[in-house]
Every structure is written in C-alpha cells, then in structure tokens.
Structure 1
C-alpha cells in the first residue's frame, strides 16, 4: 500500500474553509462510529482548500488484481450543494508527469453539501495506468479537464422580522424546505399564500429565491390573481422599493390588491392562485363575494 502522508501548504493570504464529514443517508446507518472517527481524523490531515474550490485529495493507493484502488476525499469548498457526474481524474508526480488518467461517473456520490468532505474509492483500470509502479512518496491525484458538475442550491431566508412568531417561522421554513432544489444561476418566485384581509385587500405572499452568486434587485413585478375557476380577478404591476435578494438567499414579499369586500375575519383563499404576468380582466370584473374558508 502507498499511503499519502505529506502535503504542500502555502501561506498566500487566501481564505480557506474547513470541511466536515458527509456520508450518504444509507451509509450513515451502516458505518460504525469507529470508522467515522477514522474518516474525521483523515479529513483533519488533508491540506486546506480555498473558499469556492472543488478539491480531491488522495489518501492511499494500491494494486487490486487488474485495478489500481485509490482512496480519496472529494471536498466541496463552495457555499452550495454540488452533484458530480463525469469527472476526469489524473495521478501525477512532482514533475507533472501523468502516471494514470481515467474519467469516472460520480453520480452515485449523491449531493455534496457545502463545506463538506466525502470519502470515495476510485478503481483505475490498469490499461489507464502508464507506469509499472507508482512512487511511494511522489504522487497526487487531481481533477483535470472539463468537469461535469450540476450545482444545486437551497437558498435560506434573509430579512425575516425579528418579531416573527415562532409558529409562523416554522410554517415559512417548512414551505421553503419543500420547494425543489434550484440549479446554480436560477431565480424563482413561489406563491406562499393568497388571502382576503378584513381591510378589504387580497394579500399575496410570495417567496423569492436567488440561486446566483450576485444580489438581484427587483424593481417591478406583474402579478395576476386567479380565482378557483382560474379566472383573472385582479392584475397589476407593482413597483418595489430597493427590494434586493442576496446571493443564495430567499426573501418574503407581500402584495396587496384593494377590493370592495370586507370579511369579518381574515380569510384564506386556498383554491386561488397567482401568475406573475399581467392578464386582461374581462368586463372589469370586481369581487362581490368570497366564501369563507375554514
């Protein structure tokens, strides 16, 4: 067995991140506590990685019949989830000579959370190993070429009122958690609720999610409220004042449509929906009655 024990460390002033052990759910149930401690000790011995870096670090390699087994840790130094697909790995020496090279499909690795490390064994076919013997103290494994990576993002709330009721917060958290993961670079708007308030306003509450690495400012947004029969009853373009969603964050925003209906209590319009575009209201339709939802 050839064990990797030395690492080059440079003091460049670069921001580094710590990574913690992450296992697949099915592995969590079968891997012993002792083995987890071994994994954690090995992670502590790995060289630091930079913020925003995807890294592979080798621990050991040895021959297994017609294969070369290499134990590595895949580490995600980014602030969002990663899903890896076809990844080219190269084993080199200190001179940069290529000792082995092979592309692996890592879809079975699952989603790699932010700032996490996951152990993995790679099996190089001997036909892809270019030397008879890997030097004991002169090898490293690196990622090379075009990487097939799908970046998955789960934005978290920002700007929630400090006075928010804990029950309301749990409801908002549950709603956000149940929304589908986003792909890096996306921006989405999801309708949280539609209701008729005692003051006569139809209140639309939306959750805006930003899965990009830059803040996004919304100046204007068109919204149309549809009744239970999908008929447009209110349509308006709203102007927002300095409404910005930070990178990888979610923010709640309310939109009020005045009506001539004033119920005795705030009423949820559970069968109603919203589309984020302007729709012509046929015949200048007004809301005359809304049945109270229990």
Structure 2
C-alpha cells in the first residue's frame, strides 16, 4: 500500500478589515437665516461650517447649541444655533438660557425676549446672538472652549410648610394642600402672589383668612409686614389690614398661612362668599389721600 505524503495546506489569506460606514442615526436640519440678517459670503460660509459640525437630532426635538463667545464691553455675546425637528414651525416668546463650563459649572444665566427671532420653520436651524450683560455673568473669566448652552426650565413649584403646620396638619390635609398646589398653574417667573384658600368667620368676631403665598422668583423672599385686602363676590371690600410677621418663602414654593382680621378691620357685615379674592391693596389715589388728610384735620 502506497502512502502518499500529506501535503501541508496553505493557510487562508486574511482579508483586510474593511470599514463599513454606518448611516447616521437622527435627523439633519437645513440652515435658515433670519430675513433681517445681512451676511457676507465669508460669514455665511462660517455659519454653514458650524451647522455641519452639529450632531443629528432625533425627530420632534427643539435644541440649542453653542457656537462661540465674543466679549463685548463688560459682558459678552453668545452665538448659538437653535434647531427644530418638529413637523411644524416654532415661535418662541421668552427663553431662559444657562451657560455651562466644561466641568458643568454655571457661568452665565439670562432670560431673553425672542419676539424679534420670528418663526423657526420645521427641520431647520437658525443662528442667533444673545447679549449677556456683566450682571448676568456668574464667573469672572469666560472659558476659552468646552462651554455649553442649555434651555433652563423653571424648577417644579412645590408646597412648603412651616414646622408648626407640619406638626398640626393631618396626612389628609397635607395631601389636599399638595393637590391644590399641583392643580393650579405656577406663578410666572419672578412673580409673587396670594391665592385664597379659606375665609371663615370665627365666634370671636374675627375673620380668619387662609392663603397660599406663592413665590415664583429664583430667590427666597422675606416678609416683615404684609398689607392685605379681602373682597367678596360683589367686589366689595370685606376687610383690610396690615400684618406684622416674620415670614420666609423659599424660591418656587407656595406656603400656606392664616391671617386673623380683628372685628374693627371688617368693613362689610354680610359678605357674599360665593367667590372672593385677596390681594395687596393699591396705594390710595392722590385725591383719596387729600380727602383723608382733610377729614382728619
């Protein structure tokens, strides 16, 4: 029997690795300039370059991306690109922007009126210049790079209770107050107002008025005195008084508080409580002040 020498097989040549481009996931936008912008060809080219560097968005998104910072007087101008991948145009009224450094530190914050921006068509991107004044800066030195810009949404408005209220309210009462705070629109940014909860005549003759003091500002507010005026369904003044208090309300919270009007501050014997409201009374007109002064003399 003849045995043939087994031939050594040649190893298969390894195919060179090939790079297969994956399609970009997301939605690209086209560049749109405001009709009032007069740009040179060089400026148009620069903005097109910045636009091409932006990553694709997902459908149905509104986005803002920083382009560059330019120091201006004591403040600076932030150039940013707003993009819209909704199937319909978008019109901004006011937006609040937060600029962040590379490490996430806030470097500037400001609210802008966007009425001049106009309408942003669907599937487009538009550059815009945002002027920040010196008082809008949160740091002394602007970063050279690595910064970001974001829409700053207002914090969720929440219920705040004084310790005495925490101890005296039942779980059900606290849940009712929380449901009330959640059910009404929060105050506008920077606004402080009063919302009536309950008005009750006490056996002592006093009028007990419980309010929500609603703070829509970014700062804690402190009251030393609060002038209040209560009006009934007919619009008549039921009570008016000045209350000395040491009351603090944190930013973006509502705090309940009860004010007692003594009988001598009540102005209407039988109010119509079908509906009522409470507010800080307006200063008397000049004619009213003159009449008051003349009647006292």
TM range (shorter): 0.3 to 0.5
Return the structure number with greater helix share. 2
Return the structure number with greater strand share. 1
Task: Give the TM-score taking structure 2 as reference length.
Answer: 0.44
